[in-house]
Amino acid sequence: DMSRSMLLVGLMVAMQGSVSTFVVHPNHGHLQKVLHSGQATTCQSRTTFHQLIAARSSVRLEAKKKKSGDVEVSNKRKEKQLIDDIRSLVDRVGIGFDASEQEISEMDGMLAELEEFNAVENPTRSAKLWGRWELVFTNSPAMLKNRGLTGFGSFPFVKFKSIIQTLSSTGKAETEEVLLMPVTGAPVTSFLSGNITVVNQQVFEQSYENVNLASMLQAQSQIVGSGVYFSKAVLAITYLTEDFRVCRSPSGAFFLFRRCK
């Protein structure tokens, strides 16, 4: 119908304008200095990003192999404590849409420490990657502005509930955004489906091709239009276990996912 066509046109505009509009550039992040120096093209920036991620991952894994048993036990305790502290912050402030700069900085620091304990050498090819994941914290400016993916979370009196991402070894990806409607508090779910493409052992590209809005949101889709920011994302998996996944964009935005039980 007309409203869905308008939304898809908006997606195409966003996709043409940027290769990673899902994760608009924040003014911080420890990858930013490398990527934003000089007049690098998008292609060059991607290459630099991939090389930096691969090199950092290699150094970490080599360091882990050299650790003695006692040190390994100590580090496991540190990793567990970090995860407990991260969970505590998520419980306190939620997904990050209303978090203060200090809370976002605190989370960024803890995730950077947690990344030092990543033990998966090829996360984009690991079976641990597949399944259902809930996004529990992010500092993505686009998502903070939209209060979610579709932009409807920023509408007056509409409340954000959750974002669930399902990744499949077949290369398919589906994201569910659940919002709570005004007055009734009734949950409504929109579905975004697309593909994931492996770029290298740690970096993947995710694109959204189809949008299936909840029925009561379709009439408002023209309002969102070209303001949709979720057409494509290039992300590095910097930490992966059975329970948690951390991703970062070339601009330094981070995404913390927890596996759905």
Tell me the pLDDT band of 66, cut-offs 50, 70 and 90: low
> Is the model's pLDDT at 47 over the cut of 70?
no
Specify the higher pLDDT residue, 166 or 216.
166
> What are the tens digits of pLDDT across the range 181-213?
998 999 999 998 999 999 999 999 998 888 887
CA count, 13 A, side-chain hemisphere, 4? 12
> What are the tens digits of pLDDT across the range 18-44?
333 333 233 333 333 333 333 344 444
Tell me the pLDDT band of 69, cut-offs 50, 70 and 90: low
- Mean pLDDT along residues 147-161: 91
Tell me the pLDDT band of 258, cut-offs 50, 70 and 90: very high
Indicate the pTM of the whole model: 0.72
Average pLDDT, rounded, for the chain: 78
Specify the higher pLDDT residue, 5 or 111.
111
Q: What is the pLDDT of residue 35?
A: 34
Q: What is the pLDDT of residue 57?
A: 60
Give the range among 19-23, 47-51, 103-107, 129-133 with minimum mean pLDDT.
Answer: 19-23
Q: What is the DSSP string of the chain?
A: -HHHHHHHHHHHHHHHH-TTGGGPPPS--TTHHHHTSTT--HHHHHHHHHHHHHHHHHHHHHHHHT--HHHHHHHHHHHHHHHHHHHHHHHHHTTSTT--HHHHHHHHHHHHHHHTT---S-GGG-GGG-EEEEEEEE--HHHHHHTSSSSGGGSTT-EEEEEEEEE-TTSEEEEEEEEE-TTT--EEEEEEEEEEEE-SSSEEEEEEEEEE--HHHHTTHHHHGGG---SEEEEEEEEE-SSEEEEE-TTS-EEEEEE--
Q: What is the pLDDT of residue 212?
A: 84
Q: Which amino acid is at 15?
A: M
Percentage of the chain exceeding pLDDT 70: 66
Integer Cα distance of 118 and 15 in angstroms: 32
Domain 2-259 has CATH 2.40.128.280: yes
- Mean pLDDT along residues 89-103: 98
Q: What is the pLDDT of residue 40?
A: 41
> Is the model's pLDDT at 249 over the cut of 60?
yes
Q: What is the pLDDT of residue 213?
A: 79
For the chain, what are the domain ranges? 2-259
